[in-house]
Amino acid sequence: MTEDEKRTLEEKIVHVLKNIYDPEIPVNIYDLGLVYEHKVGDEGHVKVLMTLTAPNCPVADVMPQQVKEEISYLTGVTDVDVEITFDPPWDQDMISEEGKLELGLL
């Protein structure tokens, strides 16, 4: 996979992530700052490092599976690994400007 193909795929991944919403907060998981990292490997392997708003989040089982499933539908993706971490813990400072606007925080 070329660097251009990786870059294009990463843009598509961001688009997918911006269409997945936290059920408790009306902002997508990307703009909420729940996605810490997303990488595309040479063979189309995608690794996503993300967190949840809280360790006892009611969608702790569902959301990572949804992220994996939605990304796996993209052409060029051969495998998706979603890792959940709570280091660093999520807080409102991680919300993007766009997300803060949606929440009325700006």
Helices vs. strands in the chain: H and E counts, helices first: 3, 3
8 A C-beta contact, residue 46 and residue 40? yes
Is pLDDT above 80 for 76? yes
Is pLDDT above 80 for 57? no
* Mean of pLDDT values over 88-101: 91
In a domain, 105, yes or no: no
pTM of the model: 0.90
In a domain, 24, yes or no: yes
What's the domain count of the chain? 1
Q: Is the CA virtual torsion 94, 103, 47, 13 positive or negative?
A: negative
Mind listing the pLDDT tens digit for each residue in 25-50? 889 999 999 999 999 998 999 999 99
The domain that contains 73 carries what CATH number? 3.30.300.130
Domain containing 42 equals 3-93
In a domain, 48, yes or no: yes
